[in-house]
A and B are shown apart, each in its own frame.
Chain A
Amino acid sequence: MPVSISPQGQPRWRLRTSRAQWLGYLAWLIGACLFLLCWKMISDNTMWVFVADAGRQGDDLISRMLPPDWHYAHRLWKPMWDTLNIATLGTLLGIVMAFPVAFLAARNTTPHPLVRSLALMLIVSSRSINSLIWAMLLVTILGPGVLAGIIAIALRSIGFIGKLLYEAIEEIHPTPVEAISATGAGRLQVMSYGVLPQVLPAFAGISVYRWDINIRESTVLGLVGAGGIGLQLNAAINSLAWSQVSIIFLMIFATVLASEWISARVRHAII
């Protein structure tokens, strides 16, 4: 720890050297300038008249949302079922595709470094693009409907599950793998008896976690036409039927809370 000498000749303990201290201040200054610059750009592109009006608009919105239109709820069961299907089937499809990709991407199980970088690229591109963008794309290709939603969720899940699973595979204990290969097992047998049992709990946990996230994401896929409760939400917003919007919000809220609870329980039981 650096020491400075006070004018009285006493040593004084300090947390940082002067140089580090000044560099720290400089970093904060640059950060603050960058933030203010960005804020200025945003403020230039904002109509402040509308912002001044925000409180009144918010009041108005809430007064139109309350009371919720309870009679509309019984027409939401089918879209909700679709939403659950999009999330669940999409997750299953994503798991099926992510599983081999993760084994190809892990440093200790990949057949070749070239294959590894290809698999990593696949994982990164799937992770970078939001499921809503995938859905937008698939709706123009496959037409509106649940199928586009399922595939969109699956494509987004590859990156998430693939990344966490390949990290889990890279962290396995090497001794069981060595023991299995010492018995003369083939490549696939080593994977199945040495690697797989070690990553299975992590894999189950990751999948359930992604399912929970997917439930949340699939509620909005309908905004771009990919099926589920988002379609109803979009219709209600476009017709300014805010009392219907609020009941949809309540249903989404309840479903997401329930799925989060289930996922937490399952992960707790596995790990």
Chain B
Amino acid sequence: MNREQLADQAFTREALASTGRWRRLPFIADPKVRWAMGIGAVVYLALALASIEVNWERVAEGMSRALNFLGAFTQPDFLSRRDDIIDGILESLTMTLTSTVIGVALAIPVGLGAARNIAPLPIYLVCRSIITVSRTFQEIIIAILFVVMFGFGPLAGVITLAFATIGFMAKLLAEDIEDLDWRQVEAIRATGASWWQTMNHAVQPQVMARLIGLSMYRLDINFRESAVIGIVGAGGIGATLNTSMSRYEYDTSAAILLIIIAVVLLCEYGSSHVRRWTQ
């Protein structure tokens, strides 16, 4: 649509408004694009909904289980599998901390390499491809591969989470470095500083607060993820949760879910404090 038509439309809208019939501006200005997107969405929805097969009898059968589960939340059972739950949670917490520390330590060099303004092109490409691979695959897929390689147990989980942390942290760190105030780098360079000194005195102070905030955020994500990679045998609370659900012991599952929610809340509360303190 050209400018004349747009002006025309605005004019008719104003003319209508002067007679008291006001309409708000459309979200997408061009009517052709608007209609095409609307029709496309309807066609897609029809196709997608048609291709879903639902076994309604099975769903109806499951409704009583759904009620059982909701009931279980009102009286969660922390006690009958207490030892399993405590072991699982402790393992999840240790995995979370270890993997975040290792992951962040490895993400810093990758992040530096993936920032176009301080890294030469070959290093940039290598680091960017590490980030892409690590970000594309869900933690659980990586966990499957590492369990095959390193055997069952928390070590496979730690390596998985550390690998996922690298992609996440390095990407955000690199973006942060690419946005930094270049004058400070120039000022430090003008004093004859070496590469290390430039990084330490010009780049690091500018990104440190955000790096700490992101690490706290990642700690929280890693805990949540450590609750699921147990399903494929990589340690943590996930295995206990999976067992309790497949045995239909919903009161135990509810207890575990409540503990996970509580830990995540604590993590968030703590990280907001740390972030306020660093800024």
Q: Give me the interface of A with B, judged by CB distance under 8 Å.
A: 34-35, 38-39, 41-43, 45-47, 50-51, 53-54, 57-58, 61, 81-82, 85, 88-89, 124-125, 127-130, 132-133, 136-137, 140-143, 145-147, 150, 193, 197, 200, 204, 216-217, 219-220, 223-224, 233, 237, 249, 252-253, 256-257
Contacts and interface: CB of A to CB of B under 8 A. Distances in A.
A140 B132 CA distance: 34
Nearest to B141: A220
Contacts of A124: 261, 264-265, 268
Contacts, number: 149
B48 A89 contact: yes
A158 B210 CA distance: 26
Contacts of A197: 24
A35 B49 CA distance: 50
9 contacts: A35-B101, A38-B94, A42-B98, A46-B153, A47-B152, A85-B51, A124-B265, A128-B224, A237-B144
Contacts of B264: 124, 127-128
Interface string B7-30: 000000000000000001001000
B90 interface: yes
Interface stretch (B76-84, B116-124, B175-183, B245-253): B245-253
Interface string B79-103: 0000000000011011101100100
B58 interface: yes
A162 B241 CA distance: 26
B179 to A, nearest CB: 16
Nearest to B49: A89
B90 A41 contact: yes
Contacts of B94: 38-39, 41-42
Nearest to B221: A130
A146 B101 CA distance: 37
A34 B245 CA distance: 33
Given A39-B94, A85-B51, 17 more contacts: A45-B91, A45-B235, A46-B153, A54-B149, A88-B44, A89-B52, A125-B261, A127-B264, A132-B231, A133-B241, A140-B62, A143-B55, A145-B54, A147-B59, A197-B24, A223-B232, A249-B141
A16 to B, nearest CB: 14
Contacts of B59: 142-143, 147
B148 interface: yes
Contact of A216 (B138, B245, B248): B138
Size class of B's contact patch? Answer: 35 or more
A233 B138 CA distance: 13
A42 B151 contact: no
B53 interface: yes
A129 B257 contact: yes
Which 3 pairs, one residue from A and one from B, show the smallest C-beta to C-beta distance?
A50-B151, A143-B58, A38-B94
B53 A46 contact: no
Interface in B109-157: 132, 136-138, 140-141, 144-145, 148-155
B172 interface: no
A82 B50 CA distance: 11
B202 interface: no
A93 B95 CA distance: 34
A123 to B, nearest CB: 11
A252 B142 CA distance: 13
B34 interface: no
Interface string B187-217: 0000000000000000000000000000000
